[in-house]
Structures are given as C-alpha cells and as structure tokens.
Structure 1
Amino acid sequence: MNANEKVLDVRDVPKWNKWLILSLQHLFAMFGATILVPFLTEMSPSVALITSGLGTLSYLIITKGQIPAYLGSSFAFITPIIVATQVESLAGAMVGAFLVGIVYGIVALLINLAGVDWLLNILPPVVVGPVIMVIGLGLAPTAIDMTMNDADGNYSLTFLGVAAITLTITIVASVFFKGFWKIIPILLGIVGGYLVALFAGVVNTQDIKASWNELTSASSIGEFLSAVFTKPEFLIPFVDFSPFSVISLSIVGIMVPIALVTITEHIGDQMVLSKVTGQNFIKKPGLHRSLLGDGIATVIASMLGGPPNTTYGENIGVLAITRVFSVFVIGGAAVLAIFFGFIDIIAVVIESIPTPVMGGVSILLFGIIASSGLRMLIDNNVDLGKNRNLIIASVILVIGIGGMYIEVQLPDFDLQLSGMALSAIIGVVLNLILPGRDKVTNNPDQMFEADQDERQVS
C-alpha cells in the first residue's frame, strides 16, 4: 500500500463487517490513556469512557463530520487535577475544567471574528512542534513504567517480555501483513499481547469471574439486568455539589493555564491530521470549529465528573498507520466507549488488560506523537541551523520533558504551572521577543502545497 493511499476517506462508510473491528481498534488505542488518567487522579474510569464518547460525538457534530479525531482524557491535566483536588476537592477540579472549556470557546470566537493568523503567529511550528514532542516524550516514562514494572513498582522480566511481544506483534502486523489485517495492527497487538499475558499469568481474572458468576447466577430478569449494567459514579453540578461553593482563585490558577498547552496540542493535532489525510482542516471546517468542539467536549466531561478531553495523538497514530480516515469509524468507537461505560462485564474485561500489554502498544503510539512534532518542524522547513529556532526548540524540550514547574504561594491564591504549560508559555514568549522571526506561511491555501505536489509526483 502506497504511503499516501487512503483505505477509507473521511466521509466513507465502511462495510458493516469491518466497521465494528475498525472502531474497536480506535477504542483500544485510546483506552489505555483514557483509563489511566482517572486511575491516576482517583476518578471513575467508566465516567471517563462515557464522557470521551459523548465528547467525541459532539466534536464530530460541531465539525460537521469533517475531522476524524477521537477525544479522550488529557494527560496535560493529570497534575492540575491532583493539585486542585488537594487544594479544594474533585468538584473544584471539575469547575476548573469547565472554565478551561469556556476558554476554548472564547478563543474559537476570536478566531471566527478575526481569523486564524494571529493565533498561528503566536503558535508557529517552531513552538507547536516541540510542544507536541514534549507531550509524546513526556508520556515515554509512563509507557516504560507500564512495560517494565509490576503493580508494586518492581522490575519484572515477565512484564518486559509481554510488552516486547505485544510491540513486536503490532510492528509485524503493520509492516508485513496484507489487506484488512494490515489496517488493524493495534488491535492485533493488544489481543495477541493479552493472550500471551494470560499464559504468563499476568492477567488478573478474579473480577471477570465474579462478574460472570453474577450474570450466570441471575434468577430473574431484574437480577440479570442488574448484573449486566453498572451505574457510573457521575459527579453532576447542582445535583452532587454546588459549583459556587468550590470555585476559587486557586482553582482558576491551577487549571486554566493548562488551556494554552491543550490549545497548542490541538493546533498541532489539526496540522498533523491535515498532513496525514491530505486535507486542510484548519481552513475547512476551520480551526474555530475544531477548538469549539474540543471545548464543548471538555465542558460535557466536567459536568459529569470526567477528565477534560483533548484530541488524541494515539488515534492519530492509528489513522497514520492504517490510512482509514472515516469519521464513521471514529463515531463507532465513541458509541462503543459509551456502551462499555455502562456494561459491567465488558468494562471489567477491558480493565483486566495488563499494563505491559498497554505499555508495549504505547511505546509505538507515544513515539508517533513525538515523531509528529518532529515531522511538523521538517514539513514546515523550520531551520534549526538558526540560533533563534534552535534556542526556542531546545528550551521547550528541556523544560517540558524535565518537568520544571513554577509554584507561587500567596495567602489566598496558589499558582502552579506544570512543565507542559510552562514550556508552552516560555516558547510563546521566546518566539515573540527573539529577533529574526521566520515568515510563517499562515495562508491555509498554501500550507499543504508541497504535500500535494509530492502526492502528484508519487
């Protein structure tokens, strides 16, 4: 298959017998990260699944079904949610997430009124590319930890072996398989790794057995339905808490600045998606629509007690590998995520996927995120031979990956900027103040001329 060949275009509808499998692949690709965020922040994994599905569907509607992007739990908010929960409560963190969604809406409105050039001037490729690399490389320790260490944090050769086999299966399927099997390497890697993990005794099947026994022992329809469906632990404003009682300047200071990171990530994802699919999503349906969709998804999540959402690099990686760009496949994954969030035994089976399996797949997917940032620098001809560009990229990478943060403690106000937010802010400032700024081509009609020429030659 040619590198530029499309198996399914954005608006193509897959055949019913392939639709489910293709959607499942996207579900599995996002599942590890989407579920990991609530685990680390002590939120509900089921709610995270449901809100990611609802957020994705709302995003597809707002973008007129023209952008094949899946939205899941944002890693950029892990530390802010933990800190906000400690300062106030989880409800306070959700109010902060709601405000982040409002910021998205404001930026989208400004883009709609004033155009996109001003934002692209603030966030040119020399800033966005390294920030995306920070997101991908910042996730690398998480992938390696899942790969090498057991639940107690001890090195495990068994875990490493399972992860290595999972990664190998994924790579072999992507490179050597033909036809339909070639376009589901992530799913094949997870299924193959899961089977290996079963034989290795790594999979905890106790919850699966308990859920299955509850199903099979049901003596009435009521008991059966009770065993099938689970009630997610939603956290709803004005029902479970009063938003006005938990909002504070500290919550605003902790949560809202992260919007700069996720907006930067969003722009990068749109550029990468445009490169991968050969369509300019910044022009059509427009960056204002995609940002608004992202913001609405985060608002929906915050009103149900789920983590803030963001477009997922993992699923962009699946798109890049499989060349299946159909929004119907993405929508199918969203529906499955919602369904799985309410079905007890399915959620239990998915949650039983051991960390080395997800770690093995994540090595590839997280690496693709970082590589996408590098590709952005290359595709936009960012000259790192110029000291200005080299300084901006270097400072962003070291501050972001190194985890530097700024914390200011005042009597009634605490402000903490994490490594990702801090690196993005410093990158923006350096780009604005350092002399010799490159003339960035912000004309959407010209952004992909080189790619189109390459496709015509190929």
Structure 2
Amino acid sequence: MSKAILDVQDKPTPIQLVTLSFQHMFAMFGSTILVPTLVGLSPAIALLTSGIATLCFLLITKFQVPAYLGSSFAFITPILLAAGGLNENGASVHPGNAMIGAMAVGITYGLVSLVIWKSGYQWIMKILPPIVVGPVTMVIGLGLSGTAVNMAMNVDGKYSMLHFSAALVTLFTAIIFTIFFKGILSTMPILMGLIVGYLYSMMIGIVDYAPIAKASFFAKPDFLIPGVHYDFEITTKILLIMVPIVIVTISEHIGHQLVLGKVVNRDYIKEPGLHRSLLGDGLGTLISACIGGPPKTTYGENIGVLAITRIYSIYVIAGAAVLAIVLAFFGKAMAVIATIPTAVLGGVSILLFGIIAASGLRMLVDQHIDFGNSRNLVIASVILVIGIGGAKIVITEALSLEGMALAAIIGVVLNLVLPGRKEAEIPVKSK
C-alpha cells in the first residue's frame, strides 16, 4: 500500500489547502450539478448543500472519514415522479413534493443508523445482499437510458443531428478522459466532458448566452423552504416513491465505506462506525432537502481522487466543501451552468447511466454470484423486468407503487422468503 502524502489528520500548508481543495471540489463538481440539472432543481442549491452536507458528515464522523457528499443519481427518477415531471422551462412542476420525500429519506437513514448502533450491522447485510442490490442498481441505470438518449438526440421532440453531434463529442471526451488519462484528470470525466461539449456547442451555435448576460456576479441561490415556497404535506404516495430507494443507497454507502477504508488503511465500519457515517449521510440529505437540494450520497469520485493523489486529509475535504458553498453564490458561474445545452447533458448521461448499470453487474461478478442457482436467477430476473418494464401496483387512484421502488421491495421480499438462501450465497468457483 502506498504511503499517504497527507494522512487523514495531517494539516496542509495554506497554499496546499487552497490548491488541493480546489482540485478536490472540481473532481466532484460535474456529477454534483448534473443531478439537479436533470431533475429541474437549482444547481446552485445542489452545490451549496453538498458543501453543507459534507461539513455535517465530517462533524458526525468525528473528523475521521475523508468523504465528500454529492448529489445522488439513484434518486433521479423518484424525484421526477414525486415532482410531477418537468415544465416547458425544464423546472420541476412540484419540487416541494420531491423535497418532502428527500426529508423522509434522510429520516430513514437516521432510523437505520440508530438500529445499527444498538444491534450491529450484520442484519442489514442479510437484508441487502448483492443478489438484490446488484440488479436494482442495474435498474436505476437502464431505467434512465431512454432519458439520456432522448436528451442527446432530440430538441422539442424532433431529431437533430446538430445537437446529437454535441452529445457525441461530449460522450467521447468523457470516455477518453476515463480510459486514456492518468492522475487527477482521470477522476473528472464528467466535468471534462461538460467543458469540451460546451466549447463545441459554442462553435456550432447552440448555446443561448442570454442567462449569462442577465445574471449578476453574486446571487442568492433559489432556496425551497417548506411552508414558505410550498405547502408541507406528507403523502403516502411521496413516501412510496422515494423511501424504498434507500435499499440501494444504504448498500452503496456501505460499499463506499469499505473501499474508502481500504484506501486509507482504516476500518470505518468499526470506527467511527457505520451508524455514524450513515447518520452523517442522512443528516446531510435532510438539511439539503430543507432548503431545496437533492438527496446526498458519498461519492465514488472522492475515493478515486484519494487513491490517486494519496491526499487523505480531512482539512482538504472540508476546504472543498467550503469552496462549494462559496461558489454557489457566484451568479455568473451558475448562469453558465444553466446554458449547458440539453444535448451535452445527454452525452455525459449516456456514459454515466451506463456506468451505474454496469456497476450493478460488476457487483454480481465481484461477489461471484452463481446464476446456475435457480434462486439467484429468479430474484435477479424479477427485479430487472419489473423495474425496467414499468410494472406498478395501484393501491388507490392517486397512489401506486412502481418502477425501481417496487422492484427493490419485491427483491428484498423474495430474498427473505425463498428457500435455499445459504446455498445460493455460496460463491461460484472460478475456473
């Protein structure tokens, strides 16, 4: 294992702190702003809340876990469903509904962390084995594939080769930075794809500069406060759309903590404990939702930057969080983000959503799941078809359980009730 240049508790010099914090923030930047852009929320608020959530996470984990919290991709479809889709201006129709659902998600994290604190974490591993989480993760990525392709190819519902060319330039730029670049640039394919795709879009004349000209240099982000900007009303429908997704995100969180621990040579499941890191994730999500930001999650990009740079210092993570908070108030910068063509967003989404789906497949491969076992085959098959096929259970005229939420719940139930679980968990022997 390579020796750390700056270990978790090491303090960088002032110059190191500024430069390394900027580097870390920009590695997280592309993915953090992409989620709100896709679901019609404010990128400025997403950036602001990512910084706040990260600082909360560091505090709750006793400044021991160098993790950055950004916008969660698992909640893209649930946010769109809860908010009633997007209007003609690309904004959420009822964003308050999505925020209420996100608050419920944050509270759910807190409740789960409380149970883990009292009873240990082994039980959650049994409820969320790879044979459930892997296929549900694939559903998240594949379920969004149509959205990505539509954004890349179509303008106002009509095919445009000009816009599709911008998507392809963006996509191949992201691929090139992922495959051929080394070091810090290899951890920023989304950001670099957005930058190159935006420059190409400027060249072919599909960027509308009007929002930039109108924006002031400093501007307050568009907050969404419950009881002020929308009526606070909790409904069963919102809860059923948003809360079941924690089946995936909690498993993702556990995976990140395990990998992060290996990178920095610590056991974060035991100290400061999974209950603390999960509570930090939940509190970050709750605070974010209270002011209009999307649900938060620990980022794989963060782990990649740590592994490449060997800069593990929590001071750098905190510095990146502070910079994100400050940048959220730069009106001109946020206006530039607002002018990114839909085709460019579609280009990076093709790669990103595909990676999400492939990560679910990778989980099954890494855990040596035996699909010669009928039990595993049944669980994965049912999850995939129900999740991608659009199955739903209509409870009342205004209430239904559908998509990935339904697939996740059915997957958990099948895993618990079908016989032969111990035999199915025996990994297949590699030849």
**CA-to-aligned-CA distance 1:63-84 (integer Å, 9 cap, x gap):** 3341524231531531442259
Q: What residue identity is the alignment partner of 2:223?
A: F
CA contact (8 A) 2:54 2:68 kept: yes
Unaligned runs of 5+ in 2: 87-92, 426-431
Tell me how far apart the structure 1 counterparts of residues 152 and 231 of structure 2 sit (CA, whole Å): 41
Q: What residue identity is the alignment partner of 1:34?
A: P
Match of 1:303 in 2: 290
Q: What residue identity is the alignment partner of 1:72?
A: S
SS of aligned partner of 2:159: coil
**CA-to-aligned-CA distance 1:50-102 (integer Å, 9 cap, x gap):** 223322332233233415242315315314422599xx965455444333322
**1:331-370 superposed matches below 5 A:** 331-370=318-357
Match of 1:419 in 2: 403
Give RMSD over aligned pairs: 3.5
Shift of 1:266: 2.6
**1:87-98 superposed matches below 5 A:** 91=96, 93-98=98-103
Match of 1:291 in 2: 278
Match of 1:448 in 2: none
Tell me how far apart the structure 1 counterparts of residues 76 and 310 of structure 2 sit (CA, whole Å): 25
SS of aligned partner of 1:416: strand
CA contact (8 A) 1:26 1:318 kept: no
Tell me how far apart the structure 2 counterparts of residues 319 and 329 of structure 1 sit (CA, whole Å): 12
**1:152-301 superposed matches below 5 A:** 152-211=156-215, 227-237=216-226, 243=232, 246-247=233-234, 251-255=235-239, 258-271=242-255, 274-275=258-259, 278=262, 281-301=268-288
CA contact (8 A) 2:177 2:189 kept: yes
Tell me how far apart the structure 2 counterparts of residues 265 and 357 of structure 1 sit (CA, whole Å): 27
Shift of 1:419: 0.7
Q: What residue identity is the alignment partner of 2:335?
A: V
**CA-to-aligned-CA distance 1:150-208 (integer Å, 9 cap, x gap):** 2x122121222122222222222333335554454443322222211110112111211
Q: What's the TM-score once normalised by structure 1's chain length? A: 0.78
Tell me how far apart the structure 1 counterparts of residues 131 and 306 of structure 2 sit (CA, whole Å): 22
Give the aligned length.
Answer: 410
Shift of 1:358: 2.5
SS of aligned partner of 1:278: helix
SS of aligned partner of 1:297: helix
Shift of 1:267: 1.1
CA contact (8 A) 1:133 1:370 kept: yes
Match of 2:105 in 1: 100
Q: 1:342 to 1:380 in 2, by over 3 A?
A: same
Tell me how far apart the structure 2 counterparts of residues 10 and 439 of structure 1 sit (CA, whole Å): 42
Q: 1:176 to 1:15 in 2, by over 3 A?
A: farther
Using the aligned pairs only, state the percent identity. Answer: 44
119-128 vs 301-310, greater mean Cα deviation: 301-310
Shift of 1:380: 1.6
Match of 1:405 in 2: 392
Tell me how far apart the structure 2 counterparts of residues 138 and 18 of structure 1 sit (CA, whole Å): 36
Shift of 1:360: 2.2
CA contact (8 A) 2:32 2:46 kept: no
CA contact (8 A) 1:163 1:193 kept: yes
Match of 2:69 in 1: 70
Shift of 1:324: 6.8
Unaligned runs of 5+ in 1: 212-226, 442-458
278-287 vs 129-138, greater mean Cα deviation: 278-287
Q: What residue identity is the alignment partner of 1:134?
A: V
416-425 vs 259-268, greater mean Cα deviation: 259-268
Match of 1:450 in 2: none
Of 54, 57, 61, 1:56 maps to 54
CA contact (8 A) 2:135 2:384 kept: yes
Tell me how far apart the structure 2 counterparts of residues 430 and 360 of structure 1 sit (CA, whole Å): 36
CA contact (8 A) 2:32 2:47 kept: no
Tell me how far apart the structure 2 counterparts of residues 206 and 120 of structure 1 sit (CA, whole Å): 51
158-167 vs 88-97, greater mean Cα deviation: 88-97
Tell me how far apart the structure 1 counterparts of residues 231 and 305 of structure 2 sit (CA, whole Å): 41
Tell me how far apart the structure 2 counterparts of residues 321 and 161 of structure 1 sit (CA, whole Å): 34
Tell me how far apart the structure 1 counterparts of residues 168 and 291 of structure 2 sit (CA, whole Å): 37
Q: What residue identity is the alignment partner of 1:255?
A: L
Q: 1:141 to 1:266 in 2, by over 3 A?
A: farther
Q: What residue identity is the alignment partner of 2:55?
A: L
Match of 2:413 in 1: 429
Match of 2:429 in 1: none
Tell me how far apart the structure 1 counterparts of residues 171 and 306 of structure 2 sit (CA, whole Å): 17
Q: What residue identity is the alignment partner of 1:56?
A: T
SS of aligned partner of 2:221: coil
Shift of 1:417: 1.6
Q: What residue identity is the alignment partner of 2:46?
A: A
CA contact (8 A) 1:68 1:325 kept: no
CA contact (8 A) 1:274 1:281 kept: yes
Match of 1:224 in 2: none
Q: What's the TM-score once normalised by structure 2's chain length? A: 0.82
Shift of 1:353: 1.8
2:27 matched to 1:25? yes
Shift of 1:325: 7.4
